[in-house]
Amino acid sequence: MKGKLVLAMIVAGGIMLYLSGCAKESADRLSEGSICDTTNVSYSKQILPILQDNCYTCHQGSAASSGIDLSVFATLQAHVANGDLKSAVTHTGNVTPMPFELPMLPSCEVNTIVAWVDQGALNN
Ligand code: HEC
């Protein structure tokens, strides 16, 4: 009788270990799913939404901050070419960190912009 109880406890313990292992595994899989994919960054699918959400409030239209209208691709390109875009979003170099007086963008968004610049800042 005692033997059976011990056996039952071992089995129950085993099941609990197994279940917690699964829970951990699925949590790992979840975080894997949110890994930042910066291969072949698309301007229209990835960069444009970041700029629209975080930059256009100040950098769009005739009243754009510092006259920098980032919704004009040629203007954006000019700030890629002089290195300001990368410096501004990575908070490096001598340019004013962007978004202006706001927290730095999440690392995935920063990395995506940097990767797009490094891949030639294509209008793709
Ligand atoms: C709250 C308004 C605001 C937001 C949001 C904002 N900017 Fe700016 N941006 C400014 C101002 C103001 C300046 C001029 C700063 C200065 O002259 O020191 C500026 C300047 C810049 C410059 C030129 C940097 C320099 O020092 O010459 C770049 C590039 C730039 N912004 C890119 C961006 C990008 C990219 C985003 C979004 C990630 C962004 N900004 C979001 C207000 C903003």
User: How much of the chain, in percent, has pLDDT values that exceed 70?
Assistant: 73
- The CA 114 to ligand 1 mean position distance, Å, reads 16
CB of 89 within 6 A of ligand 1: the answer is: yes
Number of Cβ within 10 Å of residue 41's Cβ equals: 22
pLDDT at 29: 44
Residue 88: which of 99, 77, 78 has the closest Cα?
99
pTM of the model: 0.80
pLDDT at 30: 44
CB of 85 within 6 A of ligand 1: the answer is: yes
Kindly tell me if the per-residue pLDDT of 18 is higher than 70.
no
Asked if residues 9 and 88 have their Cβ atoms less than 8 Å apart, the reply is: no
Give residue-wise pLDDT tens across range 41-85: 999 999 999 999 999 999 999 999 999 999 999 999 999 999 999
Flag the least confident range among 4-13, 67-76, 85-94: 4-13
% helix / strand / coil in the chain, to the nearest 5?
Answer: 60, 0, 40
Kindly tell me if the per-residue pLDDT of 26 is higher than 60.
no
Residue appearing with tokens 């609990």: 16
Flag the least confident range among 21-25, 61-65, 93-97, 99-103: 21-25
Longest CA pairwise span in the chain (Å):
85
Asked if residues 98 and 109 have their Cβ atoms less than 8 Å apart, the reply is: no
